Structure 1
Amino acid sequence: MPRFFGFVRDQYTALPLPPTPADIAQQTFVVTGANTGLGFQCAQHLLGMGAGRVILGVRSVQKGEAALAAMRQATGRHEAGAGTVWELDLQSLDSVEKFSQRLATLDRLDALVANAGVVMTERQIVQGIELSLLVNVVATMLLALRTLPKLQASARKFNTTPRLVIVSSNSALESNMKGAVPSAGGVDVFDKLSEEDGFGTFSQYPKTKLLQIYAVRQLALLLPVATTAGGVVINAVSPGLCYTDLDRNASRPAKVVLAIMRKLLARTAEAGSRTLLQAAFAGPDSHGAYCSECRVKNEDVPAWITNASGKTTQERVWNDILKRLDAMGHGVDVAALAAPAPSARVV
């Protein structure tokens, strides 16, 4: 119950807009799932703040163009190049690769806000894995890992500190998630969580978000922002319960429950998007951290995630992500990401 009351308090917390970076007119941002909800509001804020370029990563280019037109109307940013729509389908790792290859052609990249995700209330297996695990974890982490070289190169070229933001959820931190991810027994995490037994309307989504938090913590550990050449701040952010269409795939009973919860407690998508902006502008103290209510909130992360047992689970989740990507033909050389840039090597 104490955690519930804390959640209610947090939902009614006033969320400030973060200060606009002085050099935002030179910066490039990518927001996935930007045609609706939190992503739309985040991208619109960035345009309104004067960002040099905002790239909307969307599954439907047509819907993305309609969203961009609305953003331009709201912000007055009609100049060519200020907003761009790129196709990105997180159900396809090939689409993630193509999107990442386009990002590699940019002159600079200052932040990736990985916001796109799905809630599934019916179990679907795609490419041998449950769909929300594929989209929210495997594809999202592939996008993050493929984007890191451009973020690192931008840091070195422009003497900046880019950000990699994974949009997670406070539902991952609830006590009923303790033990939800297998930590022993030699069972692949994704095989286990893809099984029909254990799949539930309101349990699968938090599990995917818990995997994200473990992955962010491990990636940040492997790539310390202060010591890695081309340092990138990597964090996870929870926007809280918001009015969005994230539950568009939910069953009717689930939508009814969520509608009641939203009526009582939800933030607007605009208010929730402020948490994404805070994470996209956050300092090195947010590296590997959990952010919510527009600040670093590591105190909300339970001990079962941060203690020795949690760290063992974290490593297991990370290794299973890399194994899954490799098995699906999209292997990642994480050691290369942690290696010093050629000009920074000690001779």
Structure 2
Amino acid sequence: MPRFVGFVRDQYTALPMPPVPADIAQQTFVVTGANTGLGFQCAKHLLRMGAGRVILGVRSVEKGEAALAAMRQETGRHAAGEIWELDLQSLDSVESFGRRLGTLDRLDALIANAGVVMTDRQVVEGIELSLLVNVVSTMLLALRTVPKLQESARSFNTAPHLVIVSSNSALESDMKGAVPPAGSDVFDKLSEKKGFGTFTQYPKTKLLQIYAVRQLALLLPVAASGVVINAVSPGLCYTDLDRNASPPAKVVLAIMRKMLARTAEEGSRTLLHAALAGPDSHGAYCSECRVKNEDVPTWITNASGKATQERVWKDLLKRLDSLGHGVDIAALAGGQVV
């Protein structure tokens, strides 16, 4: 009950817009899932703030173009913004997107917002679909983006950001023990039909995200890499994230939103905060437009939680390698600023 009371209080917290960086006209931002919801509002804010280059990573180019047209109309920046295709259901698409990012002159933030909630269990690449999209593909994109962020930090004496959009649902007490015990592969176990459900699978994927972000931030300290890595929860918002949910699930979410939800515009402010926050946000959990590590339960941060974190990370790298998308972590560390 205390946590629910805190959640209600948080949902009614006023969310400020972050200060506009003085050099934003020279900066480049990438927002995935930017044709709708939080991503749309975040990208629109960046355009309105005067960002030099805003790239919308979208699965449907047609929908992306329509979204960008709306943003241009609303912001008056009629030549700004770009549409890049990105399908997180395909690791090859992620790799192509990552290579394209590598051609940019600079990159100041990747806001990895795209995600999915599934009602029906589907398996793609041998993994349950929401695990693939929310964890495996999202983290592969993050890892492929790190070199460009490090390069930008060196070249422009700035602190680029890698932001993973997660969820406060990952921190609920019923998620304790959600990660399978040692001796079993995390992704195999969580892809099984047993235990799959709309209101259980999504927070599990977000929990794995938080573990992965914490481990990556540990391996790439901001003082050495120049890159700020964090996870952000936008809270409960009016978005179409539940577009794949069953009718009963949509009814439950509709009732919750009617009572407590933020608008997508309000929620997008949390994404902007995480993308512009200081180095104190590195490895942190952000929400309500501030660093909120106090919300992260001890079962994530204690010795047992750290062991789980390392196992999630190990299984993630192993899975990427088995799918032909291996990551050289030592090389990423070797690309650090100092």
Deviation at 1:340, TM superposition (A): 4.6
2:232 to 233, 237, 246: 237
Question: What is the rounded CA distance, in whole Å, between the counterparts of 2:223 and 2:149 in structure 1?
Answer: 15
Question: What is the rounded CA distance, in whole Å, between the counterparts of 1:183 and 1:112 in structure 2?
Answer: 32
The answer (yes or no) to whether the contact 2:147–2:335 under 8 Å persists in 1 is no
The answer (yes or no) to whether the contact 2:176–2:299 under 8 Å persists in 1 is yes
Structure 1 residue aligned with 2:332: 337
Structure 2 residue aligned with 1:49: 49
Alignment of 1:306-317 (within 5 A): 306-317=301-312
Is the partner of 2:242 in helix, strand or coil?
Answer: helix
Deviation at 1:183, TM superposition (A): 3.6
Question: What is the rounded CA distance, in whole Å, between the counterparts of 2:61 and 2:77 in structure 1?
Answer: 19
Structure 1 residue aligned with 2:135: 137
Is the partner of 2:73 in helix, strand or coil?
Answer: helix
1:65 maps to amino acid: E
Is the partner of 1:160 in helix, strand or coil?
Answer: coil
2:266 to 260, 267, 271: 271
Structure 1 residue aligned with 2:89: 91
Alignment of 1:53-132 (within 5 A): 53-79=53-79, 82-132=80-130
Is the counterpart of residue 197 in structure 1 residue 164 in structure 2?
no
The answer (yes or no) to whether the contact 1:182–1:313 under 8 Å persists in 2 is no
Question: What is the rounded CA distance, in whole Å, between the counterparts of 1:93 and 1:116 in structure 2?
Answer: 14
The answer (yes or no) to whether the contact 2:229–2:281 under 8 Å persists in 1 is yes
Structure 2 residue aligned with 1:223: 220
Deviation at 1:247, TM superposition (A): 0.2
Is the counterpart of residue 26 in structure 1 residue 26 in structure 2?
yes
Question: What is the rounded CA distance, in whole Å, between the counterparts of 1:333 and 1:168 in structure 2?
Answer: 25
* Structure 1: tracts of 5 or more residues without a match: none
Question: What is the rounded CA distance, in whole Å, between the counterparts of 1:50 and 1:127 in structure 2?
Answer: 40
Is the partner of 2:107 in helix, strand or coil?
Answer: coil
TM-score by length of 1: 0.96
Is the partner of 1:226 in helix, strand or coil?
Answer: helix
Structure 1 residue aligned with 2:208: 211
Note the alpha carbon deviations across 1:20-44, whole angstroms, 9 max, x for none. Answer: 0000000000000000000000000
Task: Report which stretch shifted further, 70-79 or 205-214.
Answer: 70-79
Structure 2 residue aligned with 1:291: 286
Structure 1 residue aligned with 2:172: 174
Deviation at 1:89, TM superposition (A): 0.2
Note the alpha carbon deviations across 1:137-185, whole angstroms, 9 max, x for none. Answer: 000000000000000000000000000000000000000000000242x
The answer (yes or no) to whether the contact 2:150–2:335 under 8 Å persists in 1 is no
Give the ranges of 4+ consecutive aligned residues of structure 1 lying more than 2 Å apart after TM superposition.
Answer: none
Question: What is the rounded CA distance, in whole Å, between the counterparts of 2:62 and 2:198 in structure 1?
Answer: 30
The answer (yes or no) to whether the contact 1:183–1:316 under 8 Å persists in 2 is no
Identical pairs, percent? 86
Question: What is the rounded CA distance, in whole Å, between the counterparts of 1:199 and 1:59 in structure 2?
Answer: 25
1:118 maps to amino acid: V
1:141 maps to amino acid: M
Deviation at 1:227, TM superposition (A): 2.2
The answer (yes or no) to whether the contact 1:183–1:312 under 8 Å persists in 2 is no
Q: How many pairs does the alignment contain?
A: 338
Note the alpha carbon deviations across 1:270-326, whole angstroms, 9 max, x for none. Answer: 000000000000110000000000000000000000000000000000000000000
* Structure 2: tracts of 5 or more residues without a match: none
Structure 1 residue aligned with 2:185: 188
Note the alpha carbon deviations across 1:27-66, whole angstroms, 9 max, x for none. Answer: 0000000000000000000000000000000000000000
1:282 to 277, 280, 292: 277
